[in-house]
């Protein structure tokens, strides 16, 4: 359902694309890795101030969402805030709230 809804949109915003990744992580984990790599590439391309350390930290956070979601989500939010994408913050926060139920 998420894939078909996303396919109908002309272009997903970065925050919405992360939400799709998080849905995959929870519901279709075999699709998560590819979606996370694509999202990471977009984050780097859409963040003119992104440096290697931030890109590495974002990739580590995406990987860490599997084993330590709370810490990894906090790191991902920090990286996105620093890169000028504060709107991304809502997605990991909402996902964590749903997964803790």
- Residue-wise pLDDT for 40-84, tens only, equals 999 999 999 999 999 999 999 999 999 999 999 999 999 999 999
Residue 3: pLDDT over 90: no
To which residue do tokens 């440096």 refer? 51
Handedness of CA 6, 50, 29, 101 (dihedral sign): negative
Q: Tell me if the pTM is above 0.85.
A: yes
Any idea which residue has 């590495």 for tokens?
Answer: 56
Other CB atoms within 10 Å distance of the CB of residue 55: 17
Structure tokens at 31: 């699709």
Alpha-carbon span 87 to 77, nearest angstrom = 9
Give the CA count within 13 Å in the CB-facing half-sphere of 43.
34
């Amino acid at each position: 359902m998420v894939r078909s809804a996303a396919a109908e949109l002309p272009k997903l915003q970065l925050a919405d694309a992360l939400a799709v990744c998080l849905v995959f992580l929870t519901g279709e984990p075999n699709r998560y890795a590819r979606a996370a790599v694509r999202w990471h590439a977009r984050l780097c391309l859409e963040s003119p101030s992104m440096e290697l350390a931030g890109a590495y930290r974002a990739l580590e956070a995406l990987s860490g969402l599997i084993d330590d979601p709370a810490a990894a989500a906090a790191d991902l939010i920090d990286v996105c805030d620093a890169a000028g994408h504060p709107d991304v913050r809502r997605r990991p926060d909402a996902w964590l709230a749903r997964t803790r139920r």
